[in-house]
Structure 1
Amino acid sequence: MSRIPLLLLLLALAGCAAWRKPPLPAAGEAERRWRSGLIERPWQLQGRIGVSGGRDSWHGHLRWEHGQGLDRLVLSGPFGQGGVVVEVGSGWIRLRYPDGRILESAEPDRLLRQVLGVVVPLAALRYWVLGLTAPGPAAVEHDLAGRLQRLRQQGWEVGYLAYGAVAAGALPTKLQLLGPDGVRVKLLIDRWEIDRDRT
């Protein structure tokens, strides 16, 4: 056997080894399982959000309460109002304005585009904010601790810029999301609350 084919074979095998996805560290896998369990548990976060792209750019404060079958987000600051309450369930969305107006729809993405000028995939965001992939195909990159560092899913790219210690693990505290049509969302989480554990 000549040296050239042998060299090509060795390079090909080396290339396959380089592309093989390394397993998560044991600590990272345990933490991922802990975060996965939070989908079924009540949690709350408080922080700041900025959205640019679409029709407008805005920023404000966010309080997000996640419960069984219901997500409740309170946005204060955007739209020049004191606070907008967004309630999302399985296949429905309700927006409550400070002046008493209520908007409801069975198409959450469509209503959000109408109100915000951009589509924010809330069904997926409840996973992404925990440092998890939503159900379905995704391309992911992990840091050395096994935590999500970059995620591409449903036409969005999510960058995890910082994590903070929370209860039995760590949760994201700084995220940047890039979506279709140049939409950019920045989320800074100041406090996490898991059941009665506050951070």
Structure 2
Amino acid sequence: MNCWFRGLTLASVVLVAACATTRPVVHHQGDVVTMGLQGQREHALADTSHWTLQGKLSVSDGNDNHSGGLTWKQDGDRYDFTIRAPVTGRSFRLTGGPDGAELEGLDGGTRRGPDAETLMAQTVGWQLPMAELKSWVLGLRADTGPAELRFGDDQLPSQLVQDGWTVDYKAWDATRQPAMPSKVFAEKPPYKVRLAIESWQLGQ
């Protein structure tokens, strides 16, 4: 693995999200009203394919933990995913779309692959479900198969189970309409992805 990524290893990562509401611990299956509200959220965000988020990302494979500042720009089917190392300030950039993916910033030059998931797994050992994460980060179910939703007392999703991953919504920015996730933890043992979102810019 690239030495720079080893340099990102941290014992723990503090994920802080602005304007976040603390999530209740208790989960419950959605009743008619709760599912109706979620349906309204999903309808309002269904066509949201252009956005930028700023935050912090932590990824673990069960042995190593890596983290950094994140800027994620989504432009339809195309993405620009930049991670900055917390100490050195060095960054790498993952870009691509339906025609493939490119990873810049590694020793040895730009790497290319058929898609983001394959490229990240082959080059740095990260398991990032990019196709699904594009929906999950919005608090939506991906269109890749059946999903189970659970809700907190605030009637916002607290957990989503899909494609073998368990996605816990630890905090939401309820100042936005519709409310947007601000702390998202996804896990498929031994892999873990932790995302703290500090700002959303929808439509750009």
Q: Which runs of 5+ in 1 are unaligned?
A: 1-19
What is the 5 A alignment of 1:78-89? 82-89=90-97
What is the 5 A alignment of 1:15-54? 22-25=31-34, 26-38=36-48, 40=49, 42-53=50-61
Higher-RCO chain (CA-CA 8 Å, sequence separation at least 6): 2
Question: Is 1:68 the equivalent of 2:76?
Answer: yes
Shift of 1:178: 0.8
Tell me which protein shows more helix as a share of its residues. Answer: 1
Question: Is 1:150 the equivalent of 2:150?
Answer: no
Q: CA offsets per residue over residues 61-104 of structure 1, 9 Å max, x none?
A: 00000102201100111796611110131252111117682111
Equivalence for 2:196: 188
Q: CA offsets per residue over residues 22-67 of structure 1, 9 Å max, x none?
A: 22434443222112221x3x10000001112256311100000010
Q: Compared with structure 1, are the counterparts of its residues 73 and 23 closer, same or farther at alpha carbon in structure 2 (3 Å cutoff)? A: same
Kept after mapping to 2: 8 A contact 1:58/1:78: no
- Aligned residues, how many? 175
Say which of 156, 164, 172 aligns to 1:163.
Answer: 172
TM-score of the pair, normalised by structure 2: 0.75
Q: Compared with structure 1, are the counterparts of its residues 91 and 157 closer, same or farther at alpha carbon in structure 2 (3 Å cutoff)? A: farther
TM-score of the pair, normalised by structure 1: 0.77
The percent of aligned pairs where both chains have the same amino acid is 27
Kept after mapping to 2: 8 A contact 1:167/1:194: no
Distance 2:109 2:59 in 1: 23
Shift of 1:151: 0.9
Q: Compared with structure 1, are the counterparts of its residues 70 and 150 closer, same or farther at alpha carbon in structure 2 (3 Å cutoff)? A: same
Equivalence for 2:148: 139
Say which of 114, 120, 125 aligns to 1:106.
Answer: 114
Distance 1:138 1:50 in 2: 24
Q: Which runs of 5+ in 2 are unaligned?
A: 1-28
Shift of 1:110: 2.3
Q: Which moved more, 1:117-126 or 1:159-168?
A: 159-168
Q: Which moved more, 1:183-192 or 1:136-145?
A: 136-145
Question: Is 1:128 the equivalent of 2:136?
Answer: yes
| Aligned alpha-carbon RMSD (Å) | 2.6
AA in 2 matched with 1:30: Q
AA in 2 matched with 1:62: L
* Larger Rg computed on CA atoms: 1
- The residue matched to 1:101 in structure 2 has which SS? coil
Shift of 1:191: 0.5
Shift of 1:116: 2.7
